[in-house]
Amino acid sequence: MRGNMSRKVPQEQYEKTFSFKFKRWLDGTKDPFLDTVEMKPQKPFQETEEAAARRAGDRERIAERVYDLEHNRLIRFFKRFYKIMSALFCIFLVVMLLEAVSWLPTVGEPDRPVNNEVSARYIENGLQETGAVNIVTGMILTYRAFDTFGETNVLFIAACCVMVLLMVDEAALKRQESTNDRRYEPKNDTILQTVAFILCPVIFIFGIYVILNGHLSPGGGFSGGAIIGAGLILYLSAFGFRKTQRFFNEKVYTVAKVTSLLMYGLIGTYFYITGANGMENHIPLGIPGHILSSGIILPINICVGIEVACTMYAFYALFRRGGI
List binders of other proteins among 290-319 (CB under 8 A): 312, 315-316, 319
Give the residue, chosen from 213, 223, 293, 301, that forms a contact with other proteins under the rule CB under 8 A: 223
Give the residue, chosen from 219, 268, 295, 323, that forms a contact with other proteins under the rule CB under 8 A: 219
Check residue 222 for interaction with other proteins (CB under 8 A).
Answer: yes
Choose one: 75-83, 124-132, 172-180, 218-226; the region binding other proteins (CB under 8 A): 218-226
Q: Which is nearer to other proteins, 149 or 313 (CB)?
A: 313
Cα–Cα distance, 286 to 280 (Å, whole number): 15
**What's the closest the beta carbon of residue 236 comes to other proteins, in angstroms?**
10
Residue 203's nearest CA partner among 176, 238, 177 is 238
Cα–Cα distance, 296 to 271 (Å, whole number): 8
The sign one gets for the Cα dihedral 219, 225, 231, 233 is: negative
Distances (CA, A) of 152 to 157, 214, 258, 300: 9, 16, 11, 11
**CA angle (116 as vertex; 115, 119 as ends), nearest 5:** 80
Q: Which is nearer to other proteins, 303 or 308 (CB)?
A: 308
Cα–Cα distance, 300 to 260 (Å, whole number): 9
Cα–Cα distance, 91 to 88 (Å, whole number): 5
**What's the closest the beta carbon of residue 94 comes to other proteins, in angstroms?**
12
* Binding-site string for other proteins from residue 161 to residue 200, where x marks contact by CB under 8 A and - marks none: ----------------------------------------
Footprint on this chain of other proteins (rule: CB under 8 A): 136-137, 210, 218-220, 222-223, 226-227, 229-230, 233, 237, 312, 315-316, 319-320
